Amino acid sequence: MTDSTAGFSTRAIHAGQPFEESTGAVIPPLHLSTTYHPYSIGELRGGYDYSRGTNPTRDSLQQQLAALEGGRFGISYASGLGAEDAVLRGLLKPGDHVVMGNDVYGGTFRLISRIHGAVGIGHTPVDLTDVDAVRAAVAETGAKLLWIETPSNPMMRIADVEALVAVAHEAGAYALVDNTFASPYLQQPLALGADLVVHSTTKYLGGHSDVVGGAVITNSEEIDSAVRFIQFAAGNQSSPFDAYLTTRGAKTLAVRMDRHCDNAEAVASWLLGRSEVSHVLYPGLDDHPGHDVAARQMRRFGGMVSVRLKGGEAAARKVAESTRVFTLAESLGGVESLMNYPSEMTHASVKGTELAVPEDLLRLSVGLEDAEDLLSDLERAFEGL
């Protein structure tokens, strides 16, 4: 079931998930075998020979991921950064250039600047909300790849995907969208013209904080071939068990995201009323600079909320270490609510650079608990600020 006319949840549950023929099992079996017996030399059974190259469980996930993003091809990796690395190695060569947001995820910046920068890939950070500035940066650098992250991590800026894709294509560059924060349920970058989408499937797609993974989805056979080759040749594929867990999580993505959004809206509204808060960064708020763009290109506004506190670093650290329902942790997108202090945690790698995160900022991954309990938890943590 990959028919694009089927509803999102129908595709999530059925794409790449046919019942098992010999027993009728509704859930496809988990294929742990590393190697496969051919009919004869050069005549494979189902196209399988060695699981680094192909594996039935991973194939099921890849079909599901493609269906969720409305793409033709899906490729799964051992992590989100592994997926990003495969894109950079598959599509770029020494001397090429990447233009990216000046608030891009710290791990992405580290990968591009330190790993790929060391072999001659250049990079230019720019404010993606300023389309003219992006156009100028792409033209000046001759960029081969425009890296779009929206909503951005952790500043929650919204980039106009259609406008930026047009800028990239005018210059003959690829347009990539990191869709991790939104998830395929809330945003469909390929339908907005993007050449490829990347995910940390560790986050909302897996959704239960129990499996690390990454993905690339595209409609381009050329891009798919180049990036999939890296998966095979460099051995950076997701394991069968990780693929199984990700597939299981993704089946409930729609219902989870609606609850994430409901709770995030409640948390953002509560934060707006607090005297200790200087800024609430959530695209669902009418006064968010990217609200109108987000309303146009997203189904809803997501489960991530960032907040800046008037008390600065000390206040942010106190709140982050005082919650009981929100768990202090690095990641996001799971069923449980997580609190993060990006300056010293997820974005420590960009501290002291132009991408440094404000020290008064907290990032909240709002989970699926009862909203009343989340607000009571924050109320306790804010006491005494």
- The set of catalytic residues is 52, 105, 178, 203
Q: Check if the beta carbon of residue 77 is closer than 8 Å to that of residue 216.
A: yes
Cα gap 15→6, rounded to integer Å: 10
Q: Kindly compute the dihedral angle of the four CA atoms of residues 268, 270, 275, 279, in this order, to the nearest 10 degrees.
A: 0
Q: Kindly compute the dihedral angle of the four CA atoms of residues 267, 269, 270, 273, in this order, to the nearest 10 degrees.
A: 150
Helix (H) or strand (E) run with residue 10 in it: helix 8-14
Helix (H, G, I), strand (E, B) or coil at 361: strand
Helix (H) or strand (E) run with residue 103 in it: none
Helix (H) or strand (E) run with residue 178 in it: strand 174-178
Cα gap 317→242, rounded to integer Å: 34
Cα gap 275→258, rounded to integer Å: 29
Rounded alpha-carbon distances, angstroms, from residue 55 to 36, 235, 366? 10, 13, 34
